[in-house]
C-alpha cells in the first residue's frame, strides 16, 4: 500500500483500520481479518475500551507470522483525564501494555479538553479541568519526553482547531506530525488542510464514511447520511465501485489518511481495496461541492451543564 511520510521521515500506510465503536468481542476478529487481508495500520484509543482485545489479536497475528511489528503501524491516543504532565507517560504505558507492544508509531492528544484523573465522561462540573488551568503546551512537553524515551516514534493531536494547532506549533520543540480530524464531503476543512500541507503535518480523516453507527445519544435527530448521497451513488455507479469506496478514494485523493471502521469481513476488504482507486478531477470537484461544514462528532458531550467548555471554544468558530 502507498505510504505518506511524516515529518520524522517515518512512513505510514495511507489507509488504516478505525476501531472506534468496534465492540469488544467484535474487534478481535476484525483485527485478525484485517491483518490477514493486508491492513498494516490500526488506529486505536483507550477510550474505545477495546485495546486489550486489539493487543491480543495483534500479538497472535505477529506470532503466526501474518505480520511483523516493524510492518505494522499502531496509533493510539491520550485520553482527556491524563493531560497533567505526570499522567502522560503512565497513560501511554497502559496503552502499550494493553496493545502488547514496546512502543507506538504515533501517539495523539485525543481532544483539547481536560478532565480530572480517572474521569472518562464527566457528569459533574468538578470533573473538568479548564484549558486555562493546564496549558496544552505542558501536556505536549510530556509527549515529547515520551519520544525521547522511545515509547512512541511520533506525536500529534486530534480534534485541534486551526488556532489551537498553530499555537501548539509555536510552542512545540517537536512539531506535531499529525492532526486527526473529522473529514468527509460534508466537512472538508480546506483551511486546515492548507495549513498542514504548508507545515508538513499530515491529516487523518476520521469518520470518513459518516460514522453511521455512533451511539444514539450522540446522534442528532435530523442528521444527514453520506453513503446514500445521490452524487456519491452516481460516481460509484460510474466506476462500478461502492459508495464507501468513493468516499475513501476521495479522502485519499486529497492526500489525507483515511481510517474507516468496519468489523465486517466483506466491508473490511472492500475498504482496503479503495486504497488502489483513483477518482477523476470531475468526481473530485463534484464531491468538493458537497461541503456544508457539518460535524457528526461535534464534541457536544463535553459541554454539558457546568462544563467550562463550549462548542465555539472547542472549535474556535
Q: Which residues bind ligand A2P (CB under 6 A)?
A: 18, 207-213, 227, 242, 244, 260-264, 267, 270-271
For ligand A2P, the closer of residues 188 and 262 by Cβ is: 262
| Residue 50: CB minimum distance to ligand A2P, A | 13
For ligand A2P, the closer of residues 66 and 218 by Cβ is: 218
**Catalytic residue at 294?**
no
Backbone angles phi, psi at 198, to 5 degrees: -65, -35
Provide CB contacts within 8 A for 70, sequence distance 6+: none
d(CA 250, CA 236): 11
| Residue 289: CB minimum distance to ligand A2P, A | 21
C-alpha cell at 155: 506525536
DSSP string, 164-220: HHHHHHHH-SSPP-EEEEE-BTTB--HHHHHHHHHHT-EEEEESTT--TTS-GGG--
| Residue 186: CB minimum distance to ligand A2P, A | 11
| Residue 245: CB minimum distance to ligand A2P, A | 7
Backbone angles phi, psi at 150, to 5 degrees: 80, 15
For ligand A2P, the closer of residues 109 and 241 by Cβ is: 241
| Residue 209: CB minimum distance to ligand A2P, A | 3
Quickly list H helices, 9-117.
27-37, 51-63, 85-99
For ligand A2P, the closer of residues 48 and 302 by Cβ is: 48
Q: Which among 156, 111, 88, 165 has a CA at the least distance from the CA of 303?
A: 111
Q: Are strands 106-109 and 114-115 parallel, antiparallel or unpaired?
A: unpaired
- The partner residues of 182 in beta bridges, in order of sequence, read 206
For ligand A2P, the closer of residues 159 and 271 by Cβ is: 271
Q: Which of 28, 39, 48, 206 is catalytic?
A: 48
Q: Is 239 annotated as a binding residue?
A: no
d(CA 180, CA 314): 15
DSSP state, residue 131: G
- In this structure, are residues 28 and 53 in contact, taking their beta carbons and an 8 Å threshold? yes
Q: Indicate the annotated binding residues for substrate.
A: 110
Known binding-site residues equal: 110
Mind telling me the catalytic residues?
48
Amino acid at each position: 500500500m502507498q505510504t505518506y511520510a511524516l515529518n520524522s521521515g517515518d512512513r505510514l500506510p495511507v489507509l488504516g483500520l478505525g476501531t472506534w465503536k468496534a465492540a469488544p468481542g467484535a474487534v478481535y476478529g476484525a483485527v485478525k481479518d484485517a491483518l490477514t487481508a493486508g491492513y498494516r495500520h490500526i488506529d486505536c484509543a483507550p477510550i474505545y475500551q477495546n485495546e486489550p482485545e486489539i493487543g491480543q489479536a495483534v500479538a497472535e497475528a505477529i506470532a503466526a507470522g501474518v505480520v511483523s511489528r516493524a510492518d505494522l503501524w499502531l496509533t493510539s491516543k491520550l485520553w482527556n483525564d491524563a493531560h497533567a504532565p505526570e499522567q502522560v507517560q503512565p497513560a501511554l504505558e497502559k496503552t502499550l501494555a494493553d496493545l502488547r507492544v514496546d512502543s507506538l508509531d504515533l501517539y495523539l492528544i485525543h481532544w483539547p479538553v481536560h478532565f480530572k484523573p480517572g474521569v472518562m465522561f464527566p457528569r459533574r462540573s468538578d470533573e473538568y479541568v479548564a484549558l486555562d488551568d493546564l496549558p496544552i503546551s505542558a501536556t505536549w512537553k510530556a509527549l515529547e519526553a515520551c519520544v525521547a524515551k522511545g515509547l512512541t516514534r511520533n506525536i500529534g493531536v486530534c480534534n485541534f482547531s486551526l488556532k489551537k494547532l498553530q499555537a501548539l506549533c509555536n510552542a512545540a520543540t517537536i512539531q506535531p506530525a499529525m492532526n486527526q480530524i473529522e473529514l468527509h464531503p460534508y466537512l472538508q476543512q480546506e483551511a486546515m488542510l492548507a495549513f498542514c500541507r504548508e507545515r508538513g503535518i499530515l491529516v487523518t480523516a476520521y469518520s470518513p464514511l459518516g460514522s453511521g453507527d455512533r451511539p444514539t445519544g450522540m446522534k442528532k435527530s435530523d442528521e444527514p447520511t453520506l453513503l446514500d448521497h445521490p452524487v456519491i451513488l452516481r460516481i460509484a455507479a460510474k466506476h462500478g465501485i461502492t459508495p464507501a469506496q468513493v468516499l475513501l478514494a476521495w479522502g485519499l485523493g486529497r492526500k489525507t489518511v483515511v481510517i474507516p471502521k468496519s468489523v465486517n469481513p466483506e466491508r473490511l476488504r472492500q475498504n482496503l481495496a479503495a486504497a488502489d482507486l483513483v477518482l477523476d478531477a470531475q468526481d473530485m470537484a463534484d464531491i468538493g461541492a458537497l461541503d456544508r461544514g457539518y460535524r457528526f462528532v461535534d464534541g457536544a458531550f463535553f459541554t454539558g451543564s457546568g462544563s467550562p467548555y463550549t462548542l465555539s471554544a472547542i472549535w474556535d468558530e
